Amino acid sequence: MIRLADYGIVVPGWPDLLEAGIAAALVLVALLLGWLAGRRLGPAVATFWGTRVGSAVEGLGPRMCQIVRHGSAAALLAIVAGGYAWHPLSAFGIGFALGAATAKLTIDVLRGLHLPRWAAWGIGAVVFVALLSNALGGFDNVTTALERIGFDVGRRRLSLLSVVSVAVVAIGLYALVRLANRLVGHSIGQAKTLDATQKLLAQKLAAIGAVVIAFFFGIDLLGIDLTTFAVFSGGLGLAIGFGLQKTVGNLIAGIILLMDRSIKPGDVIVVGESFGWVNKIGVRAVSVITRDGKEHLIPNENLMTQEVENWSFTDRNVRVRIPVKVGYESDLKLAQSLMLRAASESPRVLKSPKPNVWLTSYGDYAAEHDILVWISDPESGVGNVRSDVLNRLWLLFKEHGIVIPVPRREMILREPAAAAGIAAAPAAQADFPAAKDTD
């Protein structure tokens, strides 16, 4: 009779099989409770998440039921795995289920944060292998095997274990920073005691702080000694300082703009040839959208060093000047009253301050006026206000017989001088020019 024990194969006895059956039943119960939690609690958690967080982390909302399901199952399986010293056969089943549930939870969270599919599934595979090997007591063997695969670089060893560790830490910290930025940004955006500029500044500083904290935390996790790179990092930092001088200058200029609140999102500004309203103040540049729908990216440093017209810095009301010329043969009082009427009937013109009409000068062929109107929405454009007022004034002038003059040139011809006075022709031409402009 052939015995498997003679070949080194251990056949579990009835107690081990009974224990494995109990472990399998507990695994099924944990998975069932996880499924029920995802079905019953998942929608409530998703609703709460949508109410409190909104669209700040929009990718996690649709996956919230699966996250609750796999998270509950993983928590229960972790309690089962750590609550008793299981036989290897039972530990394998529990470890497999725990690794699968935790890996699926990791994939759902990372995909909900919009990380690439390869990164999410790669981290999920690492988590599955780590938990399964740890349940079987062979986690040290796996790490030792990964450490053997590699080569030495000076006094340090570059192995497959270090590559996997760096990848896991980098992707994990990136996901945490992304989640923290979204949550903190949403919390700051909901604050009622801060205005739009202060909220934007707080969000930028919080994002920079999160990146710095994650960097040093990752360095500590990986056990990298920064003192060994002191000389190299000093030279590299000097080179980067010269190379990124403009970038750092734009970054600091953007923070200063947000702190002194001289330019805020929504302001209407004029910088050189660019006219429009501020859409966003970024790390490097300010986004200005013009009336043509074009988005101009103006470096922050330019706004600090160049002259900038801010039409809505302290007051959003802007005065628009509309020049109008009236013929001298027309009734100026009637024409001025029609100008005020056309301005008052325009929908975007404010009633207070009320429109006004000024007679600015007596021109060559017309009396020149300025219609002065005020608007409170300069981001909607200025030219359309002029067009609306002038169109209304055109109809009113035609209705009341007001003449809109046009330039005229009159030619006056003189008889030539007598034949006897040919020598005096130059003088005559000087006294009586051949043509001139008249009214």
Query: pLDDT band at residue 268, thresholds of 50, 70 and 90?
Result: confident
- For 74: left if phi > 0, alpha if psi spans -120 to 50, otherwise beta; the answer is alpha
Please give the residue that has the higher pLDDT: either 295 or 6.
295
CA distances from 48 to 44, 176, 296 (A): 6, 21, 39
Condensed to tens digits (0 to 9), the pLDDT of residues 118-143 reads 888 988 888 888 888 888 777 777 77
Is the pLDDT at 370 greater than 90? The verdict is yes
> Between these two residues, 312 and 35, which has the higher pLDDT value?
35
Partner residues linked to 159 by β-bridges: 150
| pLDDT of residue 424 exceeding 90 | no
* Residue with tokens 């002029």, as numbered in its chain: 386
Q: Which of 39-48, 237-246, 259-268 has the lowest mean pLDDT?
A: 237-246
With cut-offs at 50, 70 and 90, classify the pLDDT of residue 60. confident
On the question of pLDDT at 366 being above 80, the answer is yes
* Window from 9-13, 108-112, 390-394 with minimum mean pLDDT: 9-13
Instruction: Give the pLDDT band (50/70/90) at residue 4.
Output: very low
Distance separating alpha carbons of residues 375 and 364, to the nearest angstrom: 32
Question: How does residue 334 score in pLDDT terms, banded at 50, 70 and 90?
Answer: very high
Average pLDDT of the segment spanning 369-390: 86
Distance CA(185)–CA(56), nearest Å, equals 8
Of the listed ranges 222-226, 276-280, 324-328, 377-381, the one predicted with least confidence: 222-226
Query: Rounded to 5 degrees, what are φ and ψ at 403?
Result: -90, 130
Instruction: Please report, for residues 66, 93, 102, 172, 249, the alpha-carbon distance to residue 125 in angstroms, rounded to integers and kept in the order given.
Output: 18, 17, 10, 14, 43
Produce one character per residue of 304-343: b if its CB has 16 or more CB atoms within 10 Å, e if not: beeebebbbeeeeebebebebbbeeebeeeebbebbeebb
Query: For residue 56, what is the DSSP state?
Result: T
Residue for token pair 């051949």: 434
- What pLDDT shows up at residue 165? 82
How far is Cα 156 from Cα 159, in angstroms, rounded to an integer?
10
3-state secondary structure of 408: coil
The pLDDT confidence band at residue 388, using thresholds 50, 70 and 90, is: very high
Kindly write down the DSSP assignment for every residue of 108-175, as one continuous string: HHHHHTT--HHHHHHHHHHHHHHHHHHHTT-HHHHHHHHHHSEEEETTEEEEHHHHHHHHHHHHHHHH
Look at residue 383 in the predicted model and tell me its pLDDT.
Answer: 82
Q: What is the mean pLDDT of residues 55-79?
A: 82
Domains and CATH numbers, the chain: 16-189 (no CATH), 253-310 (2.30.30.60), 316-439 (3.30.70.100)
